[in-house]
Amino acid sequence: MFVAQARRRKLPARQAKLETAVDRDGLAEHVQQQVINVFIVKSLRDVDDPRLMRQGVRWRLRRNLRKDYIIVAASAMPTTLCHELGHYFGNGHSSVVNNIMSYRRDDPAKVAFNDRQGIKMRRTTRALLSRGRVVPIDKLAKPKDPKPPSP
């Protein structure tokens, strides 16, 4: 198994709409160690051009670049999470139409990573595993069950 839900939490209402870099940094309080943290938010404004909205970003906490996570708007295209994971695993943008790392699409059925990007992602994955930044799912500590409410 490659993907597991380590812990699912509802974000506080104040973090549903991310308007600024400070708002994005605020998600760091929810970051879990040794997993790829993905946050789904109601809206995500572009911090460089506030007139624009974003579908997703790979964000690094500005005061601690080792804390990084993915933020995806709930209204994002289906390929947005794949695109942001591509960044997480070391890929930059591509100008090739229908490449996951490109903004240009003409056939959704053909959207994919290329072989070079796959090699880069495998190398990055090995590095993340060897440094303990992420761990295999079977090694991940299981979250404790919350105590049932008292009667």
List, for residues 108-141, the tens digit of each pLDDT value. 899 999 999 999 999 999 999 999 999 887 777 6
pTM metric for this prediction: 0.86
Q: 86-102: per-residue pLDDT in tens? A: 999 999 999 999 999 99
Q: How far apart are CA 116 and CA 126, in angstroms?
A: 16
Q: 27-70: per-residue pLDDT in tens? A: 999 998 889 999 999 999 999 999 999 999 999 998 888 889 99
What is the DSSP track for 123-139? HHHHHHHHTTSS--GGG
